[in-house]
A and B are shown apart, each in its own frame.
Chain A
Amino acid sequence: MRPVRAHFFVAEEVGARLGNGQVLQRPLQGTDEGTMNMRREFTDRNDLLGYLREQFPGASGEMSPILGGREAAEQKLVQFDAQRYAATRNFLEGSVSKLSPYLRHGVVTLREVWEKFAGRRFFKFVQELAWRDYWQKVYAEIGDGVWVDRERAKTGVTYTQDLPLDWGKTGLACMDGFAAELETTGYLHNHARMWVAAYLVHWRKVAWQTGARWFLRHLLDGDPGSNNLSWQWVASTFSHKPYIFNRSNLEKYTGSRYCETCARRLQCPFDKSYTELAAELFPLLRER
């Protein structure tokens, strides 16, 4: 595993050589000289993980396989096949940039990325950059309002505040797989985010805020602007109608990878037409 690089402020934290050849070991998390500087030098990611566990005992889980830092962001920029983006981006195996965690924390800026892919040739990708800019602008305007319904929900449904008790163990290979992937890696393909959000809100009747909080705990790119407003888009509190999907849609874009081994493949709650699903999920709307 690649060692974590540390360029700065190393000597003052790990020790200073005295004139007589002795090594002065200063505490790594020093209270000397009245400071509480945190460590900047680690032998590898395990060393960093151990330190973080000690420093942040309330935080659970492991490190993500996704590396932080500018070098990692630049690698993603180089590896991204923007030519294939428009045609393949909705497929789990499609070409997506995976730049979102770096954009979220300003390690690279939208402007820098746009300058590399400006022009109509990359229309779809540029539009996605604009989506992020748009969410940030709305967030700047409404602040904590991102936690409140922007509009009335167009579903006629009453929601519960808790994640389902079987969450992560529903027996649905797709949903359990997405939950595990998010909690392990801190990343989910955008299409998977939409399916998970739609399942929780429309099938399980969970308030979108509950799902949004769960995403923010885990997503490396999670920010209340893009995240919450996307959940609101799915929930129909920031769109004209609720977003739903069916099995045919999920199978197409996942290459059937979940359905083939799913324990509930013969009782799949998604294996219906959109008309049937809308009638089942939003019965009150039909009566209006």
Chain B
Amino acid sequence: MKLIWVHADCLHRQSPAYRAYPNAPSLFVWDEAGLQRTEWSLKRIGFIYECLLDLPVTIRKGDPVEEVRCYLRETGCEGVVTMGSPDPVLQRQAVELGAEVLAQEPLVETQGKIDLTRFSKYWRKVETALTGEDR
């Protein structure tokens, strides 16, 4: 059985991770070093905490990699699954954990590499798919 590592970039009850592993235990870890670094106010923590209460997730705090490993041992799970994120810290942690990383359903499917130097170039690629052609 896999363990779902929930992080703050995807607090969705129907995330691909929860859908793919509906019976798996899940864990969220407040990254204490990360909170010290970013100095998030209590408002931000409170908002996320309220979102977490909607999910069937165990909540802990500490070092995410250590806590996930510890919970793996407690639950007897054999691997970690998590949701993809552009956050480099979460990406490094997922790699350390050897996690299976699932992608969120994209806003729009795009072909090939998109030029991201300006929004206008990206928009030209996705406009038709997002707004239709019924001008």
The B24-68 residues at the A interface (CB cut-off 8 A) are 30, 35-36, 38-51, 53-62
Nearest to B83 among chain A residues (CB) is: A106
How many residues of A sit at the interface, in one of the four size bands? 35 or more
Q: CB distance A137 to B122 under 8 Å?
A: yes
Query: Known contacts A37-B59, A52-B49; is A217 also within 8 Å of B130 by CB?
Result: no
B69 sits at the interface (CB 8 A): no
Q: CB distance A101 to B108 under 8 Å?
A: no
The residues of A that contact B106 with a CB separation of less than 8 Å are: 111, 133
The residues of A that contact B8 with a CB separation of less than 8 Å are: 105
How many residues of B sit at the interface, in one of the four size bands? 35 or more
B131 CB to closest chain A CB, in angstroms? 5
Q: CB distance A217 to B42 under 8 Å?
A: no
Q: CB distance B130 to A130 under 8 Å?
A: yes
Query: Known contacts A48-B50, A69-B53, A129-B107; is A105 also within 8 Å of B11 by CB?
Result: yes
A109 sits at the interface (CB 8 A): yes
Rounded to whole angstroms, the CA-CA distance of A99 and B49 in the bound complex is 17
The residues of B that contact A64 with a CB separation of less than 8 Å are: 43, 46-47
A279 sits at the interface (CB 8 A): no
A118 sits at the interface (CB 8 A): yes
B104 sits at the interface (CB 8 A): yes
Nearest to B122 among chain A residues (CB) is: A134
Rounded to whole angstroms, the CA-CA distance of A119 and B129 in the bound complex is 9
Question: What would 7 more interface pairs be, CB under 8 Å, given A38-B30, A63-B42?
Answer: A7-B54, A8-B55, A69-B51, A105-B9, A107-B12, A220-B44, A222-B44
Chain A residues proximal to chain B, CB less than 8 Å: 4-9, 34-40, 45, 48-49, 52-53, 55-56, 58-64, 66-72, 101, 105-111, 114, 118-120, 123, 126-127, 129-131, 133-134, 136-141, 143-144, 183, 185-186, 213, 216-220, 222-225
**Cross-chain pairs A/B with CB under 8 angstroms, 21 sampled:** A34-B74, A37-B59, A49-B46, A53-B42, A59-B40, A63-B42, A63-B46, A66-B47, A68-B49, A70-B12, A70-B51, A105-B10, A105-B11, A105-B47, A106-B12, A107-B54, A130-B119, A130-B123, A133-B126, A134-B122, A186-B43
